[in-house]
């Protein structure tokens, strides 16, 4: 390989800049390979000046920086790109332009750093003949066939710390405190943070819950002399329905 591209898509997640840095340094130092950065996700292929060279100097000092130096378009779907025509907003398919853009830049491979949506698009571009390599990124840890996605561990640490901090306040004021955690339809953050942070009730999307069961658990703790409870709730948690 002589030239590769790298883009970031989807929502923000810890570690994006670290991966970009690793790609650039590994490509250049170990393989003598040039790296191009695609700005704002797939939009970079259709926007003017959307493709830039990335060298060692460009990635120096970015490890502690949040976000991504390349930018990301969480709604940048090339199969449904929003444009204004005759004063109206319409959706158009520019996927062929993306494939042509990859070939125009003479890329031997395009590294796509993204979550479920971004990698689904990457797979569809691959089926069109684009040389794509998917790098799983999401705090939700919900990409099939992937043990751990980057961004998940940092989110887990922060969620666990939040639960730890709630304990002292809940105990001092004899309160039931509820912490809602991200993850969409996956409960990995809530489950693992709840266990590590000592939550008394953990509600995740994969297991529907009943309010009566939650209340019973809180009353049980009160009857045992524990006058506070911590409830960790995933944003996608659902009630049980027959």
| Residue 166: burial class (beta carbons within 10 Å; 0-12, 13-18, 19+) | buried
The 10s digit of each residue's pLDDT in 129-165 is 999 999 999 899 988 888 889 899 999 999 999 999 9
pLDDT of residue 231: 96
pLDDT of residue 177: 95
For the segment 60-88, the average pLDDT, to the nearest whole number, is 84
How many separate domains does the chain show?
A: 2
Residue 140 is a catalytic residue:
yes
On the question of pLDDT at 99 being above 90, the answer is yes
On whether both 40 and 105 belong to a single domain, the answer is: yes
| Annotated catalytic residue, options 40, 58, 108, 140 | 140
The 10s digit of each residue's pLDDT in 11-24 is 778 889 999 999 99
Distance of CA 96 to the CA centre of its chain: 26
Give Cβ neighbours of residue 218 (< 8 Å, ≥ 6 apart).
176, 200, 201, 229
On whether both 181 and 214 belong to a single domain, the answer is: yes
Specify if 21 maps to a domain: yes
On whether both 31 and 106 belong to a single domain, the answer is: yes
pLDDT grade for 70, boundaries at 50, 70 and 90? very high
On whether both 116 and 190 belong to a single domain, the answer is: no
Its domain, for residue 37, covers 3-137
For the segment 205-221, the average pLDDT, to the nearest whole number, is 95
Range in 40-44, 190-194, 233-237 the model is least confident about: 40-44
For residue 207, what is the domain's CATH number? Answer: 3.40.50.460
Q: In what order do the strands lie in the sheet with 34-38?
A: 51-54, 34-38, 3-8, 109-114, 132-136
Q: Which backbone phi and psi does 28 adopt, to 5 degrees?
A: -80, -50
- The model carries a pTM of 0.81
Question: Could you give the CA distance from residue 51 to residue 74 in angstroms, rounded to a whole number?
Answer: 18
On the question of pLDDT at 64 being above 90, the answer is no
On whether both 124 and 172 belong to a single domain, the answer is: no
For residue 107, what is the domain's CATH number? Answer: 3.40.50.450
pLDDT grade for 236, boundaries at 50, 70 and 90? very high
On the question of pLDDT at 80 being above 90, the answer is no
For the segment 113-136, the average pLDDT, to the nearest whole number, is 93
User: pLDDT: is 116 or 206 the higher one?
Assistant: 206
pLDDT of residue 75: 64
pLDDT of residue 74: 63
């Amino acid at each position: 390989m002589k030239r590769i591209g790298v883009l970031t898509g989807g929502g923000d997640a810890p570690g994006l800049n670290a991966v970009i840095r690793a790609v650039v340094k590994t490509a250049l130092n170990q393989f003598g390979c040039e790296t191009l950065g695609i700005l704002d996700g797939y939009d970079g292929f259709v926007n003017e000046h959307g493709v830039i060279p990335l060298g060692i100097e460009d990635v120096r000092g970015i490890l502690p920086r949040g976000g991504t130096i390349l930018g990301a378009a969480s709604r940048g779907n090339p199969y449904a790109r929003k444009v204004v025509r005759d004063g109206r907003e319409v959706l158009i398919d520019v996927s062929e332009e993306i494939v042509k853009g990859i070939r125009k830049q003479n890329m031997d491979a395009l590294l796509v750093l993204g979550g479920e949506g971004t990698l689904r698009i990457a797979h569809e571009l691959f089926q069109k003949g684009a040389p794509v390599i998917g790098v799983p990124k999401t705090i939700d840890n919900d990409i099939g066939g992937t043990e751990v996605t980057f961004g998940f561990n940092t989110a887990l640490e922060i969620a666990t710390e939040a639960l730890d901090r709630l304990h002292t306040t809940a105990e001092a004021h004899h309160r039931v405190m509820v912490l809602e955690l991200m993850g969409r339809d996956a409960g990995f953050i809530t489950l693992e943070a709840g266990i590590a942070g000592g939550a008394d009730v953990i509600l995740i999307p994969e297991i529907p819950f009943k309010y009566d069961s939650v209340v019973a658990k809180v009353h049980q703790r009160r009857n045992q002399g524990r006058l506070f409870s911590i409830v960790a709730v995933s944003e996608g948690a659902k009630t049980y329905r027959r």
